[in-house]
Structure 1
Amino acid sequence: MKILFAASEIYPLIKTGGLADVAGALPVALRKKGHDVKLIMPAYQGILEKVAPIQKSINLGNPFGVGDLLLLETHIPENDTPIWLLQCQALYEREDGPYVDKNGIDFPDNHLRFAALSWATATLALHGELMDWQADVLHLNDWQTGFAAAYLESWKTAHIPIVTTVHNLRYNGSFDMDQFADTLLSPELLSMHGMEFYGRFSGLKAGLVYADAITTVSPTYAQEILTPEYGDGLDGTLRAMTEKLSGILNGVDYEQWSPEIDSLIPHKYNLETLSQKCENKLALLQENGLSEDLSKPVFGVVSRLTEQKGLDLVLNVMPALLEKGARLVVLGSGDKDLESGYLTLQKSYPDQVSVRIGYFEDYSHRLQAGIDALLIPSRFEPCGLTQLYALKYGTLPVVRQTGGLADTVFEEGKKPNGYVFKEADTADLSAAMERCMDDFYDGTRWQERQMNAMQYDHSWEAVTDQWINLYQSLLNK
């Protein structure tokens, strides 16, 4: 099959979250199975320096009045995946991130920036002859590409099947109605059964309503978003479309995330050499100037610092555990109050707490290899990738039972691999962390869970067939 895969971020070119990891890995896994996958993404500032020389370019004109849209054909050197980069200096070449400015504020023209990406994606899906390649299936990801489904709907012509994947329903890409005309979309789409969203218009809702199939990144999350608690205003829309909704767990690229071959960690290890994990723990403690007592547990956080991730709960329970000798290593950024809270905790326990604000890929690998347990007390979690990375490194996750966390981390049963709590409150989290510490000091129970964790197979190869079956079912229709 020929699959056009559209995303607003793709690792290793640019990454702000799990979407980039998925967009960087799933197409590679599909190509290994013999399918012809090509990517499309904006040419943000600095991106052209990270790809192979441009092989071909085509000018799509200036439909939005902000400058010509150039489609540049190249490939990603790391994995040889073909990609089209949409170049428009006025829209994409900015010094800040792909979505927000240096103050964390959304760019005011995001509706136009991603309408242009979606328009180019839809044009390419409909008119493959422009680049001598006609896709069989169009795979959209999150709100930034959801407008593409609306363009194809408004152009009222037969087109290829569309799959929309929801990586996080909360980010619905909704905008004021007075910005709608900028998108060049037909006002006919602005109904409650179309892309209208509580008096605004939504790129994600467009992607849902006009898709032939909707997927989320875990089976449990696919069920949760049908409820008002998790549906973020779209649960009614989704309940009306359950026949085209399914959940497929994200996979892990074990060429990037495996302690056996990870060149970013000080000491490689596997199931047979698990004792080497202690060497990574010591190195992490030394790097951060923390107490080097290996007999006490080290908890870790690698996350956006937001209320969604439940990291306010960690701030509440951590002091009591620090008094018992635990350590905490944090990597992340986000809510300024949470950032301040963690930095204050570090000042209060300088020998036990290390906090780095930001995201550093190399350091995240050393952290995963060096900590004993990873904290993910999310109020909701569509899939989660950090717990999947942690499992491979023999780092036991402490998670709330929600979304993809519920599908991948188990405290009970034949092969327990972590610690699970139900309610998003300090009491339940604290109890789970206490159970974790008890097992750590037991040793035998701890190592059994580590062995179980490292043996779980969450590779992309293990889930790719589910995607192939989905695409094929759409083509069969």
Structure 2
Amino acid sequence: MKILFAASEVYPLIKTGGLADVAGALPVALRKKGHDVKLIMPAYQGILEKVAPIQKSINLGNPFGVGDLLLLETHIPENDTPIWLLQCQALYERDDGPYVDNNGIDFEDNHIRFAALSWAAATLARHGHLMNWQADILHLNDWQTGFAAAYLESWKAEHIPVVTTVHNLRYNGSFDMNQFSSMQLSPDLLTMHGMEFYGRFSGLKAGLVYADAVTTVSPTYAKEILTPEYGDGLDGVLRSMKDKLVGILNGVDYDQWSPDKDTLITHNYGIKTLSQKQTNKLALLQENGLSEDLNQPVFGIVSRLTEQKGLDLVLQVMPSILEKGARLILLGSGDKYLENQYLELQKNYPTQVSVRIGYFEDYSHRLQAGIDALLIPSRFEPCGLTQLYALKYGTLPVVRQTGGLADTVFEEGEKSNGFVFQSANAESLQAAMERTIKCFHETHNWQEKQKNAMSYDYSWEAVTEQWTQLYESLIRP
């Protein structure tokens, strides 16, 4: 099958979250199965330096009045995946991040920036002759590409099946109605059953209502978003289309995330050489100037610092946990209040707490290999990738039972691989962390859990068949 995969970020070119990991790995896994997959993504500043020389370019014109849209054909050197980069200096060449400025504020023209990406994806899907390649499937990801489904609907195009994947429903890409006139879309789409969203218009809702299939990144999250608690105002829409909604768990690229071959960690190890994990633990503690006692547990966090992730709960319980001799190593950024609170915790416990604000890929690997337990107390979690990485490194996740965390981490039974709590409150989290500490000191039980964790297979190869079946059902219903 020929699959056009549209995304606003792709690892290793640019990454702000799990979407980039998925967009960087799922096309590679599908290509290994013999499918012809091509990516489309904006040519943000600095991206051209990370790809192979441009093989071909075409000018798509100036549909939004902000400058010509150029489509550049190249490939990603690390995995040879073909990619089309959409170049428009006025839209994408900025010193800041892909979505927000240096103050964390959304760019005012995000509706046009991602309308252009969506328009280009829809144009390619409809007019394959432009690049001598006609897609069988258009696969959209999150609100930034959801408008593509609306363009195809608006053009009354000859039908090409559209799949929309929701990585996080909370980010719905909604904008003021007074911005709609610049979108080059038919106002006929602005209905309750179209892309209108509580008096605004939404890229994600467009991607949902005009898609042939909608997927989420875990089976449990696919059920949760049908409820008002998790539906973020879209639960009614999703309930009306639940026959075309399916949850497919994200996978992991074990070429990148496996302690036996990871070139970014201090010392390689595997399930049969688990004791070598201690070498990584000691190196991580030394790197951060923390107490080097290997007989006490080290908790870790690799996360966006947001209320969604439940990291305010960690702040409430951490002083009592630290008093038991544990340590905490955090890597993340986000909410300025949470950033400052964690920096204050580090100041108060300088030999037990290390905080790095930002995201550093190399360091995240060393952190996963060096900590004992990973904290993910999320209020909701569509899939979560960090717990999947942690499992392979023999790092036991401590998670709230929600979304993809509920699908992948289990405290009870023969295949127990972590620690789970139910309620999003400090008491439940503290009880789970205390169970973690207790188990850590029961060396045999801890090691059994580690071996269980490392034996799970959450590789992309294991889930690619589900994607193939979904695509085929849309092409040959």
Where does residue 476 of structure 1 map in the other structure? 476
Counterpart-to-counterpart distance in 1, 2:182 and 2:371 = 49
Where does residue 439 of structure 1 map in the other structure? 439
Where does residue 461 of structure 1 map in the other structure? 461
Counterpart-to-counterpart distance in 2, 1:281 and 1:293 = 10
Where does residue 106 of structure 1 map in the other structure? 106
RMSD, matched Cα: 0.4
Where does residue 132 of structure 2 map in the other structure? 132
- Work out whether 1:378 is the aligned partner of 2:372: no
> What is the one-letter code of the residue matched to 1:232?
D
Deviations 1:436-474 (A, max 9, x none): 000000111100000000000000000000000000000
- How far does residue 414 in structure 1 lie from its aligned partner after superposition? 1.9
Which deviates the most, 386-395 or 150-159? 150-159
- Work out whether 1:95 is the aligned partner of 2:74: no
Deviations 1:423-442 (A, max 9, x none): 00001000000000000001
Counterpart-to-counterpart distance in 2, 1:272 and 1:205 = 48
Counterpart-to-counterpart distance in 1, 2:240 and 2:369 = 44
- How far does residue 157 in structure 1 lie from its aligned partner after superposition? 2.2
Counterpart-to-counterpart distance in 2, 1:439 and 1:475 = 50
Where does residue 287 of structure 2 map in the other structure? 287
- Work out whether 1:224 is the aligned partner of 2:224: yes
Counterpart-to-counterpart distance in 1, 2:421 and 2:182 = 46
Counterpart-to-counterpart distance in 2, 1:194 and 1:15 = 31
Q: Give the 3-state SS of the residue equivalent to 2:214 in structure 1.
A: strand
- How far does residue 159 in structure 1 lie from its aligned partner after superposition? 2.1
> What is the one-letter code of the residue matched to 2:288?
N
- Work out whether 1:261 is the aligned partner of 2:261: yes
> What is the one-letter code of the residue matched to 1:135?
A
Structure 1 gaps of 5+ residues are: none
Q: Give the 3-state SS of the residue equivalent to 2:309 in structure 1.
A: coil
Counterpart-to-counterpart distance in 2, 1:239 and 1:158 = 27
- How far does residue 362 in structure 1 lie from its aligned partner after superposition? 0.2
Q: Give the 3-state SS of the residue equivalent to 2:440 in structure 1.
A: helix
> What is the one-letter code of the residue matched to 2:444?
T
Counterpart-to-counterpart distance in 2, 1:388 and 1:272 = 19
Where does residue 206 of structure 2 map in the other structure? 206
Deviations 1:115-139 (A, max 9, x none): 0000000000000000000000000
Where does residue 183 of structure 2 map in the other structure? 183
- How far does residue 418 in structure 1 lie from its aligned partner after superposition? 0.1
Counterpart-to-counterpart distance in 2, 1:71 and 1:293 = 55
> What is the one-letter code of the residue matched to 1:451?
K
- Work out whether 1:2 is the aligned partner of 2:22: no
Structure 2 gaps of 5+ residues are: none
Q: Give the 3-state SS of the residue equivalent to 1:437 in structure 2.
A: helix
Counterpart-to-counterpart distance in 2, 1:436 and 1:304 = 23
- How far does residue 243 in structure 1 lie from its aligned partner after superposition? 0.4
After the TM superposition, which residues 132-171 of structure 1 pair with which residues of structure 2 at under 5 Å, given as runs? Answer: 132-171=132-171
After the TM superposition, which residues 189-200 of structure 1 pair with which residues of structure 2 at under 5 Å, given as runs? Answer: 189-200=189-200
- How far does residue 158 in structure 1 lie from its aligned partner after superposition? 1.6
Query: TM-score, normalised on structure 2?
Result: 1.00
Where does residue 402 of structure 1 map in the other structure? 402
Counterpart-to-counterpart distance in 1, 2:448 and 2:229 = 36
- Work out whether 1:30 is the aligned partner of 2:34: no
Counterpart-to-counterpart distance in 2, 1:157 and 1:209 = 16
Counterpart-to-counterpart distance in 2, 1:329 and 1:461 = 32
Which deviates the most, 154-163 or 139-148? 154-163
> What is the one-letter code of the residue matched to 1:452?
N
> What is the one-letter code of the residue matched to 2:377?
P
Q: Give the 3-state SS of the residue equivalent to 1:308 in structure 2.
A: helix
Where does residue 236 of structure 1 map in the other structure? 236
Deviations 1:52-72 (A, max 9, x none): 000000000001000000000
Q: Give the 3-state SS of the residue equivalent to 1:439 in structure 2.
A: helix
Counterpart-to-counterpart distance in 2, 1:63 and 1:266 = 51
- How far does residue 170 in structure 1 lie from its aligned partner after superposition? 0.2
Counterpart-to-counterpart distance in 2, 1:158 and 1:68 = 26
Query: TM-score, normalised on structure 1?
Result: 1.00
The percentage of counterpart residues that share the same residue type is: 83
> What is the one-letter code of the residue matched to 2:451?
M
- How far does residue 413 in structure 1 lie from its aligned partner after superposition? 1.8
